Amino acid sequence: MSDDRNYLEQAVELARQNVEQGGRPFGALLVREGQVLARAVNEIHLTQDPTCHAELQAIRAASRQLGPRLDGCVIYASGQPCPMCLAAMHMCGVSRVVFAAANAVGEPFGLSTAAVYQQMALPLEAQKLDIQHLPQPAMSEVYARWQALHAAR
């Protein structure tokens, strides 16, 4: 628990520093077995890339060292991870996430992603984003080819 507090304080300090440099108040650390593998901040202000969230930047940096699987890793984030970041954590196998500020804290500042969580909980046809499924039979062949190539490795 004291390690959690220490790492979380570091993520909050990264967020504080990022604000002072013109960025958004988000910082993250990715840690495995007590070793900090990556420190990152939200870089949207620098890149204009809306996916440059601190958590994703930390995942990208750690993946360059470890590959696409981050099993056993913990992400410490200054704010509640958005659905995009949380999905990435699931996809790469992050084992745990600890965050400082919940969406309710960020809401008065326009920094909550609660509405996105609500949208994503709806069936596809009920979401505001127009999502269309247009099946393509060739995709079964593409998937089968991928499986055949990777099964041989």
- Whether the pLDDT of residue 79 is over 90: the answer is yes
Cα–Cα nearest to 38, from 75, 80, 88, 85: 75
Considering all CA atoms of the chain, what is the largest pairwise distance in Å, rounded to the nearest integer? Answer: 53
Distance CA 83, CA 127 (A): 15
Q: Are 77 and 53 in contact (CB under 8 A)?
A: no
Q: Which two tokens stand for residue 101?
A: 């500020």
Residue type, 108: P
Per-domain boundaries in the chain? 1-125
Residue 65 CB-density burial (10 A; 0-12 exposed, 13-18 middle, 19+ buried): exposed
Q: Tell me which residues are annotated as active site.
A: 55
Q: What is the pLDDT of residues 34-77, one digit of tens each?
A: 999 999 999 999 999 999 999 999 999 999 999 999 999 999 99
Q: Please tell me the predicted confidence (pLDDT) of residue 41.
A: 98
Confidence of residue 151 (pLDDT cuts 50, 70, 90): confident
Q: Please tell me the predicted confidence (pLDDT) of residue 153.
A: 65
In CATH terms, the superfamily for domain 1-125 is Cytidine Deaminase, domain 2 (3.40.140.10)
Q: Please tell me the predicted confidence (pLDDT) of residue 2.
A: 79
DSSP bridge partners of 40: 28
Place of tokens 């055949």: 148
Q: What is the pLDDT of residues 58-68, one digit of tens each?
A: 999 999 999 99
